Chain A
C-alpha cells in the first residue's frame, strides 16, 4: 500500500460521503417506523380549577381580615395588661395583673399586695378581697424566703427593705381600722426570718467588730429575743454595710 499523505487520507475519508443506504430500504423502514405506536405514558390530568379575579380578591381580603383581626387582638391584649396594672383585688382585670407578676419574687408580690390593701382601704371599695390576697401572698413569701436567700445571698438587703415596707403598710392599715396583726400568715413570714436572723447573728459573733458594731449586734440580739426578726435583720444589715 503506497504511503498516503495526510491530505490524501483526509481526501479519502471525505470520499466516504458517498456511502448511502439502499433507498428502497429507507422508504420501507420509514413506513414501518411511523406506523409504530409507542406506549405513551399518560399522566391523568388533574382538573384545573380556573382561578378568577374573585378568588384572588377573596384570598387577599381573607389575609387582610386575618391581619386586622390579629392586630385588634394584640391591641386588646396589650391594653388589657396595661389597664390591669392599675387594678386592685376585687377588680375584673386583677387576675390579668397577677399573670403579669409571675416572674416577680414572692416577697415583692407580698409588698404589692400590701400596697393594694392600703389603696383599697383608703377608697370605698370592699377591702376583704385585698386582705385575702395579702394574707395569701405573705404565706407564699414565707415558704420561698429561705430558697430566695439561698439562691442569692445579696438579696438580704432587698428582703429587709421589703419586709419593712410590708410592716409599714400593716401599721397604716391599722390606723384605718384594719388590723391584720399576728395572723397565721404573718407569723409564718416571721418564723421564716428567724433562722435567717439567727444565722447572721452567729456569723457576726465570730467576726472581729468595732465597738460600735458590737453595740449594734447586742441590739439585734435583743430584738431577736423579742421575736422582732425583721427589726433585728434591719440592724444586722447596718453592721454588715
Chain B
C-alpha cells in the first residue's frame, strides 16, 4: 500500500498542474476547475489502487478521466463565459512594463476565451501540443487518430482561434 501511495504521489505531482490547466481552459472557472480536478484525481487514485499495474500510461489515463468529467459537467450545468477574477491573480507576470502587460493580458485573454469556443477535440490537441508540449505521435495515440490528422486538427484549431479573435 505504501508503494502505491508513493507511486501515485509522484503521478499526482507530475500531472496536477497540467490536468488543472486542461480543465480550467475548458470551464473558465477556478472553482469549477478545482472541483473537477479533485474528482479526476480521486477517481484516478481509486482506479490505481484496484488496477495500478494495468495503467501503463498515467497521462493518457488521467486526461481521459478529465475529458469525461468536463463532459459530465457540461451535461449538468450551462456553459459560462464569465472570466474568473482569480485568473488574473494566478497568471505569472511575464511582462515587465505596463504596456506589454496590457497587450499580453489582452491577447492571452482573447485566446483563452477563444479556446472555449472551438471544438472540444480541437481544444484538446491545442492544449496538449502547445501547452503540455506533447509530440504529435503521442497525441495521435491518445485520441486514436493518425498523426497527419492531428496536424490538420492543430492547423484548423489555430485558424479557428484566429477567426474567433478577429470577430470578437
Which residues in A have some Cβ–Cβ distance to B below 8 Å? 1, 3-6, 8-22, 25-26, 29-30, 32-34, 36-38, 40-41
Interface footprint category on B: 35 or more
Q: Are B16 and A21 in contact (CB under 8 A)?
A: yes
B25 beta carbon closer than 8 Å to chain A: yes
Which residues in B have some Cβ–Cβ distance to A below 8 Å? 5, 8-9, 12-13, 16-17, 20-21, 24-25, 30, 33-34, 37-38, 41-42, 45-47, 49-50, 87, 90-92, 94, 104, 107-108, 110-112, 115, 126, 130-131, 158-159, 161-162, 165-166, 168
Q: Could you list 17 A-B pairs, sorted by A, with CB under 8 Å?
A: A4-B110, A4-B166, A5-B162, A10-B130, A16-B131, A19-B87, A20-B21, A26-B16, A29-B34, A29-B37, A30-B13, A33-B42, A33-B45, A34-B5, A37-B49, A38-B50, A40-B50
Q: Are A41 and B45 in contact (CB under 8 A)?
A: no
Complex: A238 Cα to B9 Cα, angstroms: 107
Measured CB to CB, the nearest residue on chain A to B157 is: A13
- Which residues of chain A are within 8 angstroms of B115 by Cβ–Cβ distance? 13, 16
Given known contacts A22-B90, A33-B42, A36-B42, is B131 in contact with A14 (CB within 8 Å)?
yes
Q: Are B165 and A9 in contact (CB under 8 A)?
A: yes
Least CB distance, A26 to chain B, in whole angstroms: 6
Least CB distance, B97 to chain A, in whole angstroms: 16
Q: Are A21 and B17 in contact (CB under 8 A)?
A: yes
Q: Are B111 and A3 in contact (CB under 8 A)?
A: no
Interface majority SS on B: helix, strand, loop or mixed? helix
- Which residues of chain B are within 8 angstroms of A16 by Cβ–Cβ distance? 21, 25, 108, 111-112, 115, 130-131
Measured CB to CB, the nearest residue on chain A to B110 is: A1
**Additional pairs, 14, CB under 8 Å, beyond known A14-B130, A20-B17:** A4-B162, A9-B161, A10-B130, A12-B107, A13-B115, A13-B126, A15-B94, A17-B131, A20-B20, A26-B20, A29-B16, A33-B45, A38-B45, A40-B49
- Which residues of chain B are within 8 angstroms of A22 by Cβ–Cβ distance? 30, 34, 90
Complex: A38 Cα to B130 Cα, angstroms: 35
- Which residues of chain B are within 8 angstroms of A11 by Cβ–Cβ distance? 107
Q: Are B107 and A4 in contact (CB under 8 A)?
A: yes
Q: Are A1 and B104 in contact (CB under 8 A)?
A: no
Q: Are B34 and A25 in contact (CB under 8 A)?
A: yes
Q: Are B165 and A19 in contact (CB under 8 A)?
A: no
Complex: A21 Cα to B110 Cα, angstroms: 20
Complex: A72 Cα to B49 Cα, angstroms: 59
Measured CB to CB, the nearest residue on chain A to B8 is: A34
Least CB distance, B147 to chain A, in whole angstroms: 19
Q: Are B45 and A15 in contact (CB under 8 A)?
A: no
Contact of B12 (CB < 8 Å), options: A18, A25, A33: A33
Contact of B41 (CB < 8 Å), options: A4, A8, A18, A29: A29
Q: Are A13 and B131 in contact (CB under 8 A)?
A: yes
3 closest A-B pairs by CB = A38-B46, A12-B111, A21-B20
